[in-house]
Every structure is written in structure tokens, then in C-alpha cells.
Amino acid sequence: MALQFPESFLWGASTAAHQVEGNNTNSDFWLMENLEGSVFTEPSGSAVDHYNRFRDDIAEMAKMGLNSYRFSIEWARIEPEEGQYEASEIEHYREVLLACKENNITPIVTLHHFSSPQWLIRLGGWESADTPARFARYCTHVMGELGELMPYVCTINEANISIGIKKIMKRYELKSGSPGAQVGMNMEKMAQMQTYFAELSKAFGVPPTEVHSFLAPRSEQGLAVIFQAHVEARAAIRQVSPQTKVGVTLSLYDIQSVPGGEENARHAWQEEFVQFVPYLQDDDFFGLQNYTRAVYGPDGLLPVSEDAETTQMGNEFYPEALGAVVRYVSTHLKMPIMITENGIATDDDTRRIAFIDQALKGVHDCIADGFQVLGYMHWSLMDNFEWQLGFSKRFGLIEVDRTTQERTIKPSGIHLGNIARENAI
């Protein structure tokens, strides 16, 4: 018997502008990808050309049976120089939103998904106390122009991601074989950084230690800057687009422990989630992003078991994590949860189907127990550019031949669409 979800449940998939659009030339990532000695395995280039093919991609989602689409608006396109807004780019995203409307797809828009304008990084990036006001100003402009077409907005994607990145870099130094990142980091090139740092400094005009992109390791001040940016953006959005529901997304592992590791697990939850709850309590919904679990022992984080199935990202195949994190988050936040990312990188699509089924079983059980879950956005709609790891990690429901940009829906895409259809009104 098929699982029955609420009639209003949102079924969809997610993308990020820089990972799919292509030619995001004003962003910090574009610059970093193309430097000599870059830690990126390859540049994003034309990516999967979603900037030009969005109408067909959105229509394909509707044909699959999905009813929602989480995507991001690229700040570097909207405001390529500080205070200079590109009307043509606002119109581009208006067309994206209208394509959603025409296909009965509910848009869930992220206003910042990792990539930033180059000028922002030159002015101190995500460590500058001025960044929250700059981000809120950008949000005001976007929402003033397009807010009437946006029922849901996520201000910032994975506002807590720098904590995980810092831990990953530490584990790499220790070579402990611990779980992989939930974002594409190229640890193989981290040892070849001197040339890259020199080029980075030259490109941004600041010392390399002051290139504060969103995915750089954060200071405590930098973390506060990011969450203050969310708070100020939320206020700005509500002022110009009060009908829009506002939230933020966090990257969360299902944090578990073996005997003796309970205190380490409790500390990890505090560090990665609980400390941020005060910033989130006035939100309309919470964007939950989960891919796997993290297990703590008496001496800290345990490596993934050698006999465990792992994904292309080095993560343990553990779809049960999603339901567990929904339950944990709900003990701290009394608001609806939107699953804004969940998925696996694999070339074995049968495992993606199994992952979807098991993850959704956990979500269904949560809803049956009274937890309010608004929707499930699978990561990702298409195979795309996985940051420093390039195009080699495949998360998509749709395969893309990058020589022709031809799209082919995978069986997993058909499978998720059929689940959505079965639950349609």
C-alpha cells in the first residue's frame, strides 16, 4: 500500500543557481574556479545551462508529477556591483517564477545559496559586520520586484555549514577516515594551496586569510554575521512582501552516539543546531537538509564503518537519518518543517530509489505522529556542478549529457513523480 501524505504536501526537487545556471561570471566562485592552482577540480562553465533551459526543465518537473521547485536567485547576477541592480536579471527570475506558475509548480526560493558577488568578498565578505545590511538591502530589492510570486523564501542556504567544513578539514588533517562532507570539498588539492592562495589574494585585492567566501572556515564573529544576516533579511522581506513565508535552511546530520559518546553527541547538537535556535524562533518555517548520520564515541566522531555502504561523497547510506532529524528539530522549534534537501550521490539509481523510499517512510511516520512537515525537496533535480568536486558527483533525478545538454529522466525521477501523483488531490 502506498504511503498517504497530506493533500497539501509539496513534492519537488532543489537546485542552486551557481550549480546549474552556468556562466555566473560575477560570483566569487567563478573567480576562484578559474584561478591558477585552483582547488576546484574544474570550472563550472556553462554548468547544465539551466539559465537558458529553465522553461523546459520546469515543464519536465510537472510532467514527472512534481508540484514544487526549490531554486535560488543569484545575488551576483542581481547586484553585480554594489548598489547596481540589473533589471534584466530581475526579469529573468520573473520568467522563472512565471514558468513555475504556468506549470502549477510552487516555487520555494533561496536568496543566497553559497555564491556571493565578488565585490562583497572584497569588502570583507561573510566576516564583515556590514554584510547583514547589504544582504537585507538585496533582499528588499528582490522581494519588492518579485515577492508577489514567491509563497516561500529561504534567506540563506545552510547557514551553519562552516561548522561542518571546519570539522571536515580537521578530520582531513588527522586522516581519520571520518564521514564525508555534505558539500563538495576537494580535500585532495588542499595540500597544493600556496599558488592558489597567492592568486586568490591578487584576485580579490585582500590578504588570502581575509577572503571570506561563504564556504570558508568561520570565526565566531562570522557565524554571528551570517545569522544576523538572516534576521535582518527576514525583517526586510516581511516589510515589502508580508504574504511570503520566510525561513532559513541548516545542514544537519542525524547525530547519534555509542555508549560513552553521549556527551560528545550532545555537544555536537549544541554546536551545529541548538545554539542557533534563538535566531530561528520568529521564522515561519524551518528548512531541514540532511544526507546521513554522524556517530560519536567516547573519543569523538567515529569513522564510517568499513562494511557500511557509502555514497560518492563518502557518506554512509543511511536514509533513516531524515525522520530522526525531523523529530529532534521539532523538540526545539515549534514551527512547520520543510525538507529542502535530501538525497545521495550515486551512479546506481536503484539505490537512489531505495533511499527515497526509506527517507519518505521516516517522514510519513513523523507526520503520522503529529509533526508538521510541509514538503520534501529532493537534492537534486539534475546532475550538476558539485562545487570543488566538479561534475563527477551525481545527485540528480535527471541525467544531463554535458556535451549536448540533453536531459534524461532517471527511473528515480519517475519513481518520485509517481509517489507525488499518487498523493495528488
Nearest 5°: CA angle at 145, between 230 and 98? 105
Question: What pLDDT, on a 0 to 100 scale, did the predictor assign at position 186?
Answer: 63
**Residue 397 near residue 409 (C-beta atoms within 8 A):** yes
DSSP string, 353-392: HHHHHHHHHHHHHHHHTT--EEEEEEE-SB----GGGTT-
**Residue 256 near residue 149 (C-beta atoms within 8 A):** no
Burial class of residue 122 (count of CB atoms within 10 Å of its CB; 0-12, 13-18, 19+)? middle
Closest-CA residue to 417 (of 77, 93, 117, 11)? 11
Question: What pLDDT, on a 0 to 100 scale, did the predictor assign at position 341?
Answer: 98
**Cell numbers at 282, concatenated:** 520568529
Which residues does 298 contact at the CB level (< 8 Å), separation at least 6? 260, 261, 264
Question: What pLDDT, on a 0 to 100 scale, did the predictor assign at position 176?
Answer: 46
Which residues does 183 contact at the CB level (< 8 Å), separation at least 6? 114, 158, 161, 164, 165, 215, 251, 387
Question: What percent of the chain lies above the pLDDT cut of 90?
Answer: 88
* Residue 304 DSSP label: P
**Residue 35 near residue 196 (C-beta atoms within 8 A):** yes
Q: Is the pLDDT of residue 94 over 90?
A: yes
Q: Which of 28-42, 177-191, 208-222 has the lowest mean pLDDT?
A: 177-191
Q: What is the pLDDT of residues 281-316, one digit of tens each?
A: 999 999 999 999 999 999 999 999 999 999 999 999
| Cα(357)–Cα(359) distance, integer angstroms | 6
**Cell numbers at 123, concatenated:** 569588502
Domain boundaries, the chain: 10-422
Pairing label, strands 398-401, 406-409? antiparallel
Q: What is the mean pLDDT of residues 309-335?
A: 98
Query: Could you tell me which residues are beta bridge partners of residue 289?
Result: 251, 341
Q: What is the mean pLDDT of residues 315-334?
A: 98
The mean pLDDT value of the chain amounts to: 94
| Cα(254)–Cα(231) distance, integer angstroms | 26
Question: What pLDDT, on a 0 to 100 scale, did the predictor assign at position 277?
Answer: 98
pTM check: above 0.85 = yes
Cis peptide before 257 (omega within 30 of 0): no
For 190-206, letters b (16+ CB in 10 Å) and e give: eeeeeebbebbeebbeb
Closest-CA residue to 50 (of 99, 10, 117)? 99
10-422 falls under which CATH superfamily? Glycosidases (3.20.20.80)
> Tell me, what amino acid is at 56?
D
Question: What pLDDT, on a 0 to 100 scale, did the predictor assign at position 225?
Answer: 98
